[in-house]
Amino acid sequence: MKEIKECSPCFDEIVGYRRSVRIFDPEADYNPQIITKNLKRAILAPSSSNLQLWEFHRVRDGELRQKLNEACFNQPAARTANELIVIVTRLDKWEQRIEANIEFIKSQNAPEDVKKRAIAYYDKIVRRLYKWAKRYPSFLLKLIQWFNGLKKPVYREVSWTDLRISAHKSVALAAQTFMLGMSADGYDTCPMEGFDSKRVKKLLNLPKDAEINMIIACGIRKPEGIYGPRFRIPFEEVYYEY
Ligand SMILES: Cc1cc2nc3c(=O)[nH]c(=O)nc-3n(C[C@H](O)[C@H](O)[C@H](O)COP(=O)(O)O)c2cc1C
C-alpha cells in the first residue's frame, strides 16, 4: 500500500492562507497575469462527463465594472477588488461539449474498441440524458427512473434541474481550484453569491440557460480585510466513518 505522508506543508499553507477577503489593498503590487495563470489552472478541475460547462468573465474597470459592483450590492469585497471574475455555468452548451469530447476521443491513438465505447457513452448515454431533460417534464423522468429503480440501482438525477445542479457542482470545483491557485501565488479572493443574478446576466449578455455560479473578487488583502478568525464546525461533528 502506498505510504501516506503525514502532511504536505506546502498544500496546508495554501489552504490555510485562503480566506474570504472583504477589503483589498489598492496600493499593493498587483499583477493581472496571475489571474490568467490561475484561470488556466482552474480549467484543469474535474467536471461531470468532462463537459466543462464553465465560462470565466473577467471585469476590471470602466462602466461595466461600476454596474457589476452595483449588482453585487456594492459589498466591500466587490467594491475594493482589483477585478471581478464572474463564474458562469453554460448548460446551453451541452451539445457542443459532447461533440468536443467525441472529436477528442476520435483523435486519440487508442484501440478502436476502447474509442467506440467512449464515443457511445457520449453519443448515447450523455446525449440522451440532456436531450430528454430538456424535452420532458421532471415528474415524468423521475417516475420512469423510480419504476426502473424498483429492481436495480439507477441514476435518478435526470431532470433539467438535476443537470443544473450537476453543472454548478463542476463549475464550483473550477472556482475552488482558481481560489487555491491564487492563494498559492500569495493573492486573495472572496467568493460571492450576494448579487442580483438577473442584472449580472444582462450586463454580460448571457443567454437564458446560462447561470451565474459565483462571482470571485480578486486582489491582495489588507489586514483588516479579514473580518475575524476562521470558524469551522469541529471535524468530529461532520465526519462519519463506516
Ligand atoms: C458560494 C459562496 C458564496 C459566498 N458569498 C459571499 C458574499 O456574497 N459575500 C461575502 O462577503 N462572502 C461570501 N462568501 C464567503 C463566506 O462567507 C466564507 O467563505 C465563509 O465565511 C468562511 O470563511 P473563509 O472563506 O475565510 O474560510 C461566500 C462563500 C461561498 C462559498
Confidence tier at 1 by pLDDT (50, 70, 90): confident
- Which residue minimizes the CA distance to atom 4 of ligand 1? 192
Contact 189, 78 (CB under 8 A): no
Strands (E), 79-182: 83-90
pTM to 2 decimal places: 0.96
Q: How far is the CA of 141 from the centre of ligand 1 (A)?
A: 35
Q: How far is the CA of 78 from the centre of ligand 1 (A)?
A: 12
Is 2 a residue whose pLDDT tops 90? no
Q: How far is the CA of 193 from the centre of ligand 1 (A)?
A: 8
Contact 28, 219 (CB under 8 A): yes
Q: Tell me the domains of the chain and their CATH numbers.
A: 8-222 (3.40.109.10)
Confidence tier at 3 by pLDDT (50, 70, 90): confident
**Alpha-carbon span 221 to 235, nearest angstrom:** 28
Per residue in 32-62, pLDDT (tens digit) is 999 999 999 999 999 999 999 999 999 999 9
